[in-house]
Amino acid sequence: GDSVTQMEGPVTLSEEAFLTINCTYTATGYPSLFWYVQYPGEGLQLLLKATKADDKGSNKGFEATYRKETTSFHLEKGSVQVSDSAVYFCALRLSGSARQLTFGSGTQLTVLP
C-alpha cells in the first residue's frame, strides 16, 4: 500500500539555521506530494505541494522538490525562525482519485532564539 516515511524528530535548531526534514514515499501509482504544518494548538494546514516529478513546491520560504528517482520530497528552508516551530507532516495522494491523503508520522521542529 501507499506509505510515507519521515525522519524522526524532534529537531531542534537555532534561529537562522538551515532546515532539512527528510521524506520518502512508496506508492502504487503517480502521487501528488504535500507538506502540511501543525502549529501548537491548531489543526494542520497545507504548506506546499508538488504534483509531478521535478516540480518544486514553495511557500513561506520553505521548498520541496518532487524527486521520482529517489522517491523523495524533502522539506528545506534556508533560515528558520522561532515562528516556524511546529510539527511538519509529509503526505501523498494518488492524483485524480477519491482516495484520502496518506500522512507520515510528523516531525516536531523547535527553533530556539
Is 96 near another protein (CB under 8 A)? yes
22 touches 105 (CB < 8 A): no
Where b means 16+ CB within 10 Å and e means fewer, 29-63 reads eebbbbbbbbeeeeebeebbbbeeeeeebeeeebb
Which one of the spans 18-26, 39-47, 56-64, 66-74 is the region binding another protein (CB under 8 A)?
39-47
59 contacts another protein (rule: CB under 8 A)? no
Name the percent of the chain in helix, strand, coil, to the closest 5. Answer: 5, 55, 45
Q: Does 3 bind another protein (CB under 8 A)?
A: no
Q: Is residue 28 part of the contact set for another protein (CB under 8 A)?
A: no
Nearer to another protein, 47 or 80 (CB): 47
Give the binding site for another protein (CB under 8 A): 32, 34, 36, 38, 41-46, 49, 87, 89, 93, 96-101, 103, 105-106, 108
